[in-house]
């Protein structure tokens, strides 16, 4: 271990042992849970083989939070759950209680902090999202702002269970899809639509030319020279606006206020229940960025949710509902236009064509 200013540095200790943070009831019943029951969209109980119970109260968070927000949660945990809490993969907070009588006062205090309690069962789950304009350099749209606008509108769907089954929405602000949005019931994805601009002075000085050329999925970045130095040129027609080149080479900025925006994808899932995991499919190819509240995006998502709520059988995920009624009907009931862009013409895309005469006529 290296010494820095006389202090012995601790390195490579890895993650803190989770056993130090487990509620005693969880420690005692680790691996011995028998069943759970959803008591409301904001709380559930897990019962162990010994009959022990742990209550979970779930609360939504915006993911981007201040230290003060975390300290508010800590105060609630101290008051009601013996200081024990956890987070979910979808950025919810869960308080773990062994006393049923603490649920109500906890929920009251959560309400006083203006935090939403919910997210369990047949709800719109908290939207997983990425950094956007708040903290990333390739963003084609903001993440937090779109998500906040959506969740304000879908609030009732988070706190009350009123959908055929759970709907998972995700947002990513560029094709990197940090949140792996490509397998969500509804995915909102930031997209660029104009090829990167080449800034030759930056390219020759800042970029490694072979990696820049290799970064392009459609091979439209080709070698060139600029003032006698190795550089690149671009065949604009083949660009799919992925922004990968900008990540590798700061001389090829792709963000463009007039052409950046979002697309909407539907019907993906990751769970293996019933049907296999599936990618989300394109529903709306482009909506312009419309800050601060992105009303057209909110409207499109609501259109999908309303049609789904009306048309789906109980227990059917968005993708299963669409498979049952067929894609033509999906476009009919949502009113979205079906365009050339909906037909996959990228590598392996032929797999998405209909090779049968099975058509719901």
Partner 1 sequence: MSKKHKTPLLDELKKGKWPSFVNEIERAAEKSEMTDDLLGQVEQSYEEKVVHWKHGGMVGVKGYGSGIVGRFSDLPEKYPGIKEFHTVRINQPSGFFYTSDVLRSIVDIGEKHASSLFNFHGSTGDVQLLGAKTAELETIFQEYTKLGFDLGGSGSALRTPSCCVGKARCEFANYDAMHACNSITQAFQDEMHRPIFNYKFKFKFSACGNDCTASIARADLSVIGTWKDSIRIDQEAVKDYAKKFDLHKYVTDKCPTKCMSYNAEEGLKIDDSNCSKCMHCINTMPKALRPGTKGGATILIGSKAPMVSGPRLSMVLVPFYDIEEDAKNDYEWFKDLISKIWEFWDEYGVNRERIGELIQRVGIGNFIESIGLEPLPEMVASPRGNPFVLYEEYVEAGGEQG
Residue (of 122, 68, 76, 114) closest to 97 by Cα position:
76
From CA 260, how far away is CA 196, in angstroms rounded? 12
From CA 266, how far away is CA 150, in angstroms rounded? 16
Residue (of 235, 252, 241, 249) closest to 198 by Cα position:
252
Angle of the 318-325 helix axis to the 295-311 helix axis, nearest 10: 70
Least separation in angstroms between residue 86's CB and ligand SF4 is 12
CB 122 within 8 A of CB 165: yes
Which of ligand HEM, partner 1, ligand SF4, none interacts with 324 (beta carbon under 5 to 8 A by kind)? none
Least separation in angstroms between residue 348's CB and ligand SF4 is 16
Residue (of 151, 160, 130, 156) closest to 142 by Cα position:
130
Which of ligand HEM, partner 1, ligand SF4, none interacts with 54 (beta carbon under 5 to 8 A by kind)? partner 1
Residue 56 vs 334, nearer CB to partner 1: 56
First-to-final CA distance of the chain? 71
CB 120 within 8 A of CB 44: yes
From CA 198, how far away is CA 213, in angstroms rounded? 13
CA atoms within 13 A of residue 311's CA, in its CB half-sphere? 22
Which of ligand SF4, partner 1, ligand HEM, none interacts with 220 (beta carbon under 5 to 8 A by kind)? ligand SF4
> Which positions from 57 through 76 interact with partner 1, judged by CB under 8 A?
60-71, 73-75
> What is the phi/psi pair of residue 334, to 5°?
-90, -20
Residue 211 vs 218, nearer CB to ligand HEM: 211
Residue 348 CA: distances (Å) to CA of 187, 239, 353:
21, 17, 10
Residue 161 vs 307, nearer CB to ligand SF4: 161
Q: Which stretch binds ligand HEM (CB under 6 A): 10-18, 50-58, 66-74, 246-254?
A: 246-254
The answer to the question of residue 77 lying near partner 1 (CB under 8 A) is yes
Q: What DSSP character marks residue 304? A: H
Binding mask 172-191 for ligand HEM (x = CB under 6 A): ----x-x-x-----------
> What is the phi/psi pair of residue 121, to 5°?
90, -145
> Which positions from 136 through 175 interact with ligand HEM, judged by CB under 6 A?
136
Q: Which residue is nearest to ligand HEM (CB)?
A: 178
From CA 215, how far away is CA 137, in angstroms rounded? 17
From CA 73, how far away is CA 119, in angstroms rounded? 17
Residue 103 vs 207, nearer CB to ligand HEM: 207
Residue 56 vs 130, nearer CB to ligand HEM: 130
Which of ligand HEM, ligand SF4, partner 1, none interacts with 185 (beta carbon under 5 to 8 A by kind)? none
Which of ligand SF4, partner 1, ligand HEM, none interacts with 61 (beta carbon under 5 to 8 A by kind)? partner 1
**Chain residues in the site for ligand SF4 (CB under 6 A):** 130-131, 136, 138-139, 172-174, 176-178, 195-196, 215-218, 220-221, 234, 239-245, 254
Select the residue interacting with partner 1 from 123, 148, 334, 336 (CB under 8 A).
148
The answer to the question of residue 86 lying near partner 1 (CB under 8 A) is yes
Per CB under 6 A, residues contacting ligand HEM are 130-131, 135-136, 176, 178, 180, 206-208, 211, 244, 247-248, 250
């Amino acid at each position: 271990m290296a010494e820095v200013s006389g202090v012995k540095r601790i390195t490579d200790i890895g993650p803190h042992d989770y056993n130090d943070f487990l509620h005693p009831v969880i420690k005692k019943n680790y691996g011995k849970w028998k069943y759970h029951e959803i008591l409301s969209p904001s709380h559930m109980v897990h019962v162990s083989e010994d009959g022990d119970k742990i209550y979970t109260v779930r609360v939504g968070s915006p993911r981007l939070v201040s230290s003060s927000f975390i300290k508010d949660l800590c105060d609630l945990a101290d008051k009601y759950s013996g200081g024990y809490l956890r987070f979910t993969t979808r950025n919810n907070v869960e308080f773990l209680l062994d006393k049923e009588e603490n649920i109500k006062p906890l929920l009251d205090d959560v309400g006083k902090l203006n935090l939403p309690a919910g997210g369990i069962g047949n709800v719109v789950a908290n939207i997983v999202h990425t950094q956007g304009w708040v903290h990333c350099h390739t963003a084609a749209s903001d993440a937090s702002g779109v998500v906040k606008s959506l969740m304000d509108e879908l609030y009732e769907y988070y706190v009350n269970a009123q959908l055929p089954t759970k709907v998972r929405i995700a947002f990513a602000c560029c094709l990197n899809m940090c949140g792996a949005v490509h397998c969500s019931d509804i995915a909102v994805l930031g997209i660029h639509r104009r090829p990167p601009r080449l800034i030759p002075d930056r390219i020759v000085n800042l970029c490694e030319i072979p990696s820049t050329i290799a970064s392009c999925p459609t091979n439209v970045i080709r070698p060139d020279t600029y003032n006698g130095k190795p550089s690149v040129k671009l065949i604009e027609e083949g660009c799919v606006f992925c922004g990968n080149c900008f990540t590798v080479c700061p001389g090829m900025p792709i963000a463009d206020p007039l052409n950046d925006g979002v697309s909407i994808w539907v019907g993906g899932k990751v769970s293996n229940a019933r049907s296999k995991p599936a990618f989300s499919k394109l529903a709306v190819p482009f909506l312009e960025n419309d800050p601060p509240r992105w009303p057209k995006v909110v409207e499109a998502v609501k259109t999908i949710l309303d049609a789904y709520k009306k048309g789906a059988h109980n227990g059917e995920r968005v993708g299963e509902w669409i498979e049952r009624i067929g894609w033509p009907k999906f476009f009919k009931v949502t009113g979205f236009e079906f365009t050339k862009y909906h037909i996959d013409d990228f590598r392996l895309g032929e797999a998405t064509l209909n090779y049968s005469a099975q058509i719901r006529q």
